[in-house]
């Protein structure tokens, strides 16, 4: 296994042996490369900044749900370290080609494609791919490189170097609907002059675990656990839209720019309605975003004429572009989701961004036309579009808005901070910014007690987990006692669960240290002031976890 | 002496005794109030944020050059603590009314005027002052409150809550041409709902030093030193424009978006040309911005028809709106200066902001019309204007520009970092951001050696000095051995020079601690990466002061 170092300034690709004695993959590999080769103080879009692609440490194997791909760099939104992971088949394929990770350095002015195949990797001119939105760009790339390739690409928002831009990855059907969405890594990729990475794994091989039999046993145990997991069937049949009703019920569904925690029209955007529309229009449930997925929570959403509109209309998108904007029209939400996928824009950040325009008198809740017109502005690169495409914190600054739903520059996701208090501790303290996947805490959501401990444990587990390349929905079913045996058998190691958690702690420590060196001190581990002050109906919760509990997160 | 606490939410003004046992004024008082009563983590425009007005600790006396007024708050540009000081007569008048400082809390939605007179202070509706630019606003306020009042006000940029907005103070001629310009404090004032502070000092009294005779002696010694000071005559006869030639000569005059350190057309914007135009048009030199000023470096610049255009066209403005934009037309620079004074916009930040638009293909160096059109956009509050009015860091983000001339979000002033290396250490490390008054270092400007020590000493001295209310140009002539006796005689103390420097160190420590609590860690004490990499013609200097020297600044 080796690491590809791509120097965009020299237009060279070098293969290096992966570092010895380290178990690196996914988030851990992102961190390792950024710390070993990067400089925390450089501008995220500087020539000295790094762009990282890192399959998880179980990628390329038969481990269930193991194909998440980590994308990493210094975030243009937070100014800190950033890892965002995504489904698709790219991680498996890279791993099967013997690639542990890709580190992209330098920059060039003429857009390039990195073509990776069994024979090696080369940079080629991107040519007429540039300027296309993501779906047509992928079509054209397949015309050029063949139908079977998988594609990692930055979209028009990234090309514009907008801070809220994603890295898209094609799903098993070739659609660029899976996104390493949060933190603006699309702009980091684009700042290198790298438009896309195209992977053809012809001749690639499934990775052979060092202890083959033990691996099979461990993978089967994990598979069985996932199959019978508490959320698996619901996710398979409803998709993540299933959380609309539950978050709404507990007062955690962001509504009208985080002014409410439940949406009176939630029945127009919940899983029941979603299912009805999907079925009526010939869409479908039960897709896998990863090859070999068991949960298969992905969905295909067609428009009123039965034509494909978007894949995987996720809970976070429904919450942030739906209820948070007072919009109860799933078609409109799906259109915006598709547009975001085309441009390479994170829907969570965008929902926060359009939401606060209400404070500036520039958006009325429920105004679908206006919301869609703002996406048009981003596409056209108008001054307004550039503001909005730069994320919620910049938009707030430009319009002098002080009620900013963000931590460290990253917009708050669709589990309301005030009524999901454990989760909110994670938003406040994660080195990644306000990230709903950095350490979810669903229990005792209205209680202020014990949330520091819960968030700490969850963040440590998620840090380790994000290195594995396993899907988050594995985590709901398969605890570390099922994960560690797979790692051990693959790599021929003898990690205890304790070792695995220590690995997670190291990840968090490194990330915090990177942020510190980048100028982000512990004082930035705070939710915005208004969540402490403003009760959130209907629970009327405020964020009241004791400050010492929030500050205790890194006591490990 | 007392502190006025203005609660904008309740529309009340309370007078409190100043804290016992503390020598507070200017920057020291700003810091004290922000730390004692403020919360470092709140949004700068939040209702919980504070806005501070603080005369220096020698204000209201006969000490020469002692009328600088400190304005303070949490900066919308840096997110850290901010003190910006300004001339005018307001500081003296407040002090003569027995007011040590003003702390504004809370906020109201209907704009208010704080009227201060000997009888006390009240809040009144701002009425039709709102929306006016600064000169007409001051005319109207004098119609309402009488010709003799001094005015502290936020302009249209502040009303728009733009991060690059100033607090204007009227000069002895009643013109709002003196600005506490840097850091965006105009928006902080505006966020309180406070449009202006109007001061009528009828019945006010010159402060009586505790040791009257000693004070007279000390003040005379300082006065004599200033009169015979090395720069006094030059500043009196040429204004600060005198630095155009000297900075140009040493390769430190920012030119064409910091791409050059000297400007081939510098003779069109230097003191010689400036003097020629001032004289030909009936303008004048030798104005004082403070009552009783000895240096009198301020100038009146008339337009081609001989009509008043602007007062005090300063070096920093000429550098940042002139050479840094490739503009060699003093009339154009003066028009932009006037427009900035009208709107309440910092010229240093704006010059950086328009300069980087060249990287986005939106500005050609020397294009006066375009530069002026951008000021129009700010005035009109267009989306483009809101980007530009938010300062250079936000503008860079919106346009994806990674070559950002800023530290901690504050634009780099007109002594180029690469060829004024000691000064650059101050830009990097000052808790105030890239501030040319936070600790200038002019000597050995191209040497990388000893600059950490020089910057440290200069920053400590300037921190103490910014508490005194003395003008910076006193500092050039009167060292602490002349300042300390005035403080001692006024307050009846026995400070040694050592004590005075310790006072300066405390100020820096407090500010750094505030920033740390606000989330800004020591890793933010860095110049942007490109100044380490990109040689600056004609000296071809890069910033190469050893990192350990930069990091040693707070070792005291």
Q: Any CB–CB contact under 8 A between A40 and chain B?
A: yes
Alpha-carbon distance of A71 to A102, in angstroms, equals 10
Number of inter-chain CB pairs under 8 A, A vs B:
143
pLDDT digits (tens, 9 = 90+) for B98-144: 999 999 999 999 999 999 999 999 999 999 999 999 999 999 999 99
Residues 6+ apart with CB under 8 A from B472: B437, B465
pLDDT band at B291 (very low <50, low <70, confident <90, very high): confident
- ipTM of the complex model: 0.95
Give me the mean pLDDT over the B262-289 stretch: 95
- A457 C-beta neighbours (distance < 10 Å), count: 16
Nearest chain A alpha carbon to B42:
A529
Q: What is the pLDDT of residue B153?
A: 98
Quick one: tokens of B348? 């240093």
Cβ of A207: how many Cβ atoms within 10 Å?
19
For residue A511, which of A450, A441, A422, A439 has the smallest C-alpha distance? A439
Q: Does residue A478 surpass a pLDDT of 90?
A: no
Tokens 């006024």 correspond to what residue? B490
What local confidence, expressed as pLDDT, does residue B130 receive? 98
**Mean pLDDT of all residues in B203-214:** 94
Asked if the C-beta of A356 comes within 8 angstroms of chain B's C-beta atoms, the answer is no
Least confident of A251-255, A544-548, B37-41, B291-295: B291-295
A370: confidence class by pLDDT, cuts 50, 70, 90: very high
Integer Cα distance of B337 and B134 in angstroms: 13
CA angle A83-A88-A93, nearest 5°? 95
Rg (CA), chain B: 21
Task: State how far the alpha carbon of B122 is from the alpha carbons of B13, B92, B197, B199, B474, in Å.
Answer: 7, 20, 10, 11, 35
Give residue A23's pLDDT band: very low, low, confident or very high (50, 70, 90). confident
pLDDT for res A192: 98
The first and second tokens of residue A435, run together, are: 């990230």
Q: Which of A400, A523, A528 sits opposite B517 (nearest CB)?
A: A523
Task: Please state, in angstroms and rounded to a whole number, the distance separating the CA atoms of residues A189 and A165.
Answer: 10
Give the residue with greater pLDDT, B65 vs B377: B377
The pLDDT of residue A292 is 81
Do A176 and A356 meet the contact criterion of CB atoms below 8 Å apart?
Answer: no
- How many helices and strands (H and E) does chain B possess? 22, 17
The answer to whether the Cβ–Cβ distance between B402 and A528 falls below 8 Å is no
How large is the angle between the packed helices A480-491 and A497-517, nearest 10 degrees?
Answer: 90
Residue of A nearest to B391 (CA): A398
* Statement: residue B477 has pLDDT above 80: no
Q: What is the mean pLDDT of chain A?
A: 96
Q: In what order do the strands lie in the sheet with A81-86?
A: A12-17, A2-7, A99-105, A51-55, A69-74, A81-86
Residue of A nearest to B378 (CA): A398
Examine the pLDDT at B550 and tell me if it is beyond 90: yes
Q: What DSSP element (H or E) covers A175?
A: none
Residues forming a β-bridge with A103? A5, A52
In A93-112, the residues whose Cβ lies within 8 Å of chain B are none
- Nearest Cα neighbor of A163 from A331, A388, A360 is A388
Position B23 scores a pLDDT of: 86
Q: B491 touching A, CB under 8 A?
A: no
Average of per-residue pLDDT across B15-25: 90
Q: Would you say A133 and A216 are in contact if contact means Cβ atoms under 8 Å apart?
A: no
* CA–CA gap between residue A191 and residue B394 (Å, rounded): 18
Which of B402, B517, B520 lies closest to A519 in CB terms? B520
How many angstroms separate the CA of residue B391 from the nearest CA in chain A? Answer: 9
Cβ A525–B519 below 8 Å, yes or no? yes
What number is the average pLDDT over the span A294-318? 94
Residue B209 DSSP code:
P
CB A528 to CB B43 under 8 A? yes
Give the mutation candidate from B392, B523, B524, B531 for the A interface (greatest A CB count, under 10 A): B523
Q: HEC states along B394-439?
A: HHHHHCCCCCCCEECCEECCCCCCCCCHHHHHHHHHCCCCCCCCCC
Q: What is the DSSP letter of B150?
A: E
pLDDT at B128: 96
Does residue A386 belong to the interface with chain B, where contact is any CB pair within 8 Å?
A: yes
Of residues B191, B398, B520, nearest to A394 (C-beta): B398
Mutate to test the interface with B, among A38, A46, A400, A407 (most CBs of B within 10 A): A400
- Optimal mutation site among A158, A398, A401, interface B, most CBs of chain B within 10 A: A398
Contact (CB<8Å) B387/A383: yes
Residues 6+ apart with CB under 8 A from A276: none
Q: Where are the alpha helices (DSSP H) in A302-415?
A: 315-317, 330-343, 347-356, 368-380, 383-388, 392-398
A453-477: pLDDT as tens digits: 999 999 999 999 999 999 988 777 7
In this predicted structure, what is the pLDDT of residue A312?
84
Query: Over chain B, what is the mean pLDDT?
Result: 96
User: Does residue A297 contact residue A235 with C-beta atoms inside 8 Å?
Assistant: yes
**Left if phi > 0, otherwise alpha if psi is -120 to 50, otherwise beta: which for B184?**
left
Torsional class of A492: left (φ above 0), alpha (ψ -120 to 50), beta (otherwise): left
Q: Which residue has the tokens 């996710």?
A: A235
A390/B404 touch (CB, cutoff 8 Å), yes or no:
no
- Cβ of residue B361 closer than 8 Å to a chain A Cβ: no
Between CA A70 and CA A109 the distance in angstroms is 25
What whole-number distance in Å separates Cα of residue A372 and Cα of residue B173? 52
Residue A528 has pLDDT above 90, yes or no: yes
**How does pLDDT run across B412-428, given as a tens digit for each residue?**
999 999 999 999 999 99
Listed in order, strand segments (DSSP E) in B288-338 are 298-302, 308-311
Asked if A402 and B44 come within 8 Å (Cβ–Cβ), the reply is: yes
Interface of A with B in 492-521 (CB under 8 A): 515-521
Whether the CB-CB separation of B426 and B455 falls below 8 Å is answered with: yes
A178 versus A234: which is more confidently predicted? A178
Contact yes or no for B523 and A520 at CB 8 A: yes
CB contact (8 A) between residue A386 and residue B399? yes
Residue of A nearest to B76 (CA): A397
User: Which of the two residues, B370 and B442, has the higher pLDDT score?
Assistant: B370
Indicate the pLDDT class of residue A291, thresholds 50, 70 and 90: confident
Reference A99, options A127, A120, A70, A122; nearest CA is A120
Residue B476 has pLDDT above 80, yes or no: no
**Are A294 and A477 in contact, with CB atoms under 8 Å apart?**
no
Average pLDDT estimate for B466-483:
86
Q: Which residues 273-312 of B are in CB contact (within 8 Å) with A?
A: none
Closest partner CB to B516 (pick from A46, A387, A521): A521
Q: Mark yes or no for CB contact A521/B526 under 8 Å.
A: no
Distances (CA, A) of B398 to A236, A395, B55, B258, B320: 40, 9, 37, 20, 21
Question: What does pTM read for this prediction?
Answer: 0.97
Query: Rounded to an integer, what distance in angstroms lies between the CA atom of residue A411 and that of residue A350?
Result: 8
Q: Is B191 on the interface with A (CB under 8 A)?
A: yes
| Buried-state track A232-253, b at ≥16 Cβ within 10 A, e below 16 | bebbbebbbbbbbbebbebbbb
Q: What is the pLDDT of residue A21?
A: 85
Is 90 exceeded by the pLDDT of residue B474?
no
A525 contacts B520? CB cut-off 8 A: no
What number of H helices and E strands is found in chain A?
A: 22, 17
- On the question of a cis peptide bond just before residue A100, with omega within 30 degrees of 0, the verdict is no
> By CA distance, what is B44's nearest residue in A?
A402
What is the distance between the alpha carbons of residues A53 and A90, in angstroms, rounded to a whole number? 10
Q: Tell me the percentage of chain A whose pLDDT exceeds 70.
A: 100
Q: Is the confidence at residue A240, as pLDDT, over 90? A: yes
Angle of CA points B171, B240, B84, to nearest 5°: 55
**Residues B385 and B225: beta-carbon distance below 8 Å:** no
| CA torsion, ordered A5, A8, A12, A13, to nearest 10 deg | 30
**CA–CA separation, A339 vs A358, rounded Å?**
22
Q: Which residues in chain B are closer than 8 Å to A400, comparing Cβ atoms? A: 45, 160-163, 187, 191
Cα A411 to Cα B113: distance, rounded to the nearest angstrom: 36
Angle between helix A134-145 and helix A330-343 axes, rounded to 10 deg = 50
- In the sheet that B12-17 helps form, which strands lie side by side, from edge to edge? B12-17, B2-7, B99-105, B51-55, B69-74, B81-86
Q: Which residues have a Cβ under 8 Å from the Cβ of A82 and sit 6 or more positions away?
A: A72, A73, A74, A75, A182, A183, A184, A185, A432, A433
Residue A336 · residue A347 · CB < 8 Å? yes
In the structure, what pLDDT confidence band is assigned to residue A407 with cuts at 50, 70 and 90?
very high
């Amino acid at each position: 296994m080796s690491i590809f170092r791509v120097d965009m300034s020299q237009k060279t690709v070098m293969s290096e042996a992966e570092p010895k004695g380290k178990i690196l993959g996914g988030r851990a590999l992102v961190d390792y490369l950024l710390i070993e080769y990067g400089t925390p103080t450089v501008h995220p879009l500087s020539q000295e900044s790094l762009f990282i692609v890192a399959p998880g440490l179980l990628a390329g194997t038969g481990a269930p749900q193991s194909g998440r791909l980590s994308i990493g760099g210094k975030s243009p939104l937070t100014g800190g370290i950033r890892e965002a992971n995504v489904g698709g088949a790219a991680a498996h394929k890279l791993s099967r080609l013997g690639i542990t990770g890709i580190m992209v350095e330098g920059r060039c002015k003429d857009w390039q494609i990195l073509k990776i195949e069994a024979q090696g990797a080369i940079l080629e001119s991107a040519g007429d791919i540039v300027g296309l939105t993501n779906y047509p760009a992928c079509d054209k790339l397949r015309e050029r490189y063949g139908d079977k390739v998988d594609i990692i690409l930055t979209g028009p928002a990234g090309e514009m170097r907008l801070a809220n831009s994603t890295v898209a990855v094609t799903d098993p059907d070739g659609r660029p609907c899976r996104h390493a969405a949060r933190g603006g890594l699309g702009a980091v990729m684009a700042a290198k002059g790298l438009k896309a990475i195209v992977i053809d794994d012809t001749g690639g091989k499934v990775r052979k675990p060092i202890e083959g039999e033990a691996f099979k046993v461990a993978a089967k145990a994990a598979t069985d656990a996932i199959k019978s997991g508490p959320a698996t069937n619901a996710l398979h049949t409803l998709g993540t839209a299933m959380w609309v009703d539950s978050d709404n019920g507990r007062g955690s569904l962001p509504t009208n720019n985080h002014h409410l925690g439940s949406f009176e029209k939630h029945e127009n955007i919940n899983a029941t309605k979603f299912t009805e529309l999907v079925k009526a229009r010939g869409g479908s449930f039960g897709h896998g975003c990863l090859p070999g997925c068991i949960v298969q929570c992905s969905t295909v959403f067609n428009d009123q004429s039965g034509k494909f509109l978007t894949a995987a209309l996720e809970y976070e998108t429904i919450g942030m572009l739906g209820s948070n904007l007072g919009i109860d029209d799933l078609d409109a939400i799906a259109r915006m989701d598709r547009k975001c996928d085309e441009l390479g824009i994170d829907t969570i950040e965008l929902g926060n961004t359009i939401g606060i325009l209400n404070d500036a008198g520039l958006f009325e809740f429920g105004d679908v036309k206006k919301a869609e017109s703002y996406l048009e502005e981003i596409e056209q690169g108008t001054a307004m579009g550039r503001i909005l495409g730069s994320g919620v914190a910049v938009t707030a600054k430009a319009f002098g808005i002080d009620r900013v739903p963000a931590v460290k520059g990253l917009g708050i996701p669709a589990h309301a901070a005030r009524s999901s208090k454990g989760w909110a501790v994670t938003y406040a303290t994660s080195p990644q910014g306000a990230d709903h996947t950095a350490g979810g805490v669903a229990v005792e959501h209205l209680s202020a007690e014990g949330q520091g401990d819960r968030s700490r444990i969850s963040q440590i587990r998620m840090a380790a987990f994000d290195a594995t390349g396993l899907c988050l929905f594995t985590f709901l079913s398969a605890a570390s006692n099922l994960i560690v045996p797979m790692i051990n058998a693959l790599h021929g190691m003898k990690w205890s669960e304790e070792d695995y958690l220590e690995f997670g702690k190291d990840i968090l420590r490194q990330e915090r240290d990177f942020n510190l060196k980048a100028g982000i001190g512990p004082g930035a581990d705070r939710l915005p002031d208004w969540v402490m002050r403003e009760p959130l109906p209907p629970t009327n919760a405020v964020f009241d976890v004791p400050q010492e509990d929030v500050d205790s997160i890194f006591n490990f």
